[in-house]
A = this chain, B = another copy of it.
Amino acid sequence: VSDRSSLGLGPGIEFDLIRRIADRLGPRARGLGDDCALLQVGQTTLAVSTDLSVEGVHFRREWLTPTEIGWRAAASALSDLAAEGATPIGLMASVGVPPDAGEGNLESIMEGVGDAAVAAGASVSGGDLSAAPVWTIDVTVFGTAERPVRRDGALAGDSVWVTGELGGARAALKRWLSGEAPAKAARQAFAHPMPRITAGLRLARAGARAMIDLSDGLAGDAGHLAAASGKAVVIDLERLPIHPDVEAMARELGTSSEQFAALGGEDYELLAVMPPGFTEREAHDFTAATGVALRRIGTVETGSGARFRDDDTLVRLAGYDHFA
């Protein structure tokens, strides 16, 4: 990253803090601001990413089983490797254990972390434990990347694609926050996201120019990719693949399913920018090989920012911010 004070991140309080840290660190920090850090180890490029999950901020104990808490914490970090087109090799998990942890829950959380690691082809390599006020799980993942895909390579004329379905995790969250139980599929989207490891690797091999995983929501994450690439990412809202439990929730909130889904954080799907040669035919082959849906939702244009088109009208959407 050449311009340290912008770092290619979109707007938001958390991203302002990251920019301020990068300014203060100067040359003591290198390569901040993408899904993964890249470290050269001999002939191999190592991709590394960290994700911190804090009880009361990222989840509540009443919503998830301990195994799900662990799975989700590890999956969110593994998802960053997927967005880099990297192959996971291991992870480190640090857990802060609260005074009212309860018998056996630490082991169950770590079991969820281990399940997510194994599902991604890796294993738990180590970690640390400490007493803490609330459950605090920090997972650092590392993988190898033959062809790492950054956020900054999108070119005007490229097409924009997304895996899976959007808005399910947000639909579950909204239900919980209003004291209701979420629908089963929405709950699963929140509690048990699947890091798109094979999908990310295949998109990288298919020539992906830029990729990011959807942790802050499409609106925010498309903004990061646009900022890093110095281009406009233009998305047709009507093309978004919508999770089946979104419609009822959006109707209750008086918004459209598409806008609800575009603002839904923590789906952990991949947003991929592909070169002109990548067509519906390649997308069909991708789905046949991976079992993961891939939908074309927009284009890259000259300009800046993430723009959302609804029936030819441009709408403004803002991403989720854990500090807001």
Contacts and interface: CB of A to CB of B under 8 A. Distances in A.
Interface string A94-107: 11110000000011
Interface residues of A, number: 67
A133 interface: yes
A130 B118 CA distance: 26
Contacts of A111: 24-25, 28
Contacts of A118: 28
Contact of A46 (B20, B41, B56): B41
A24 B131 CA distance: 20
A110 B95 CA distance: 21
Contacts of A14: 129
Contact of A133 (B51, B134, B144): B134
Nearest to A36: B126
Given A21-B107, A48-B125, A142 B39 contact: yes
Interface in A1-51: 14, 17-18, 20-21, 24-25, 27-32, 36-37, 39, 41-44, 46, 48-51
Contacts of A131: 54, 57, 322-323
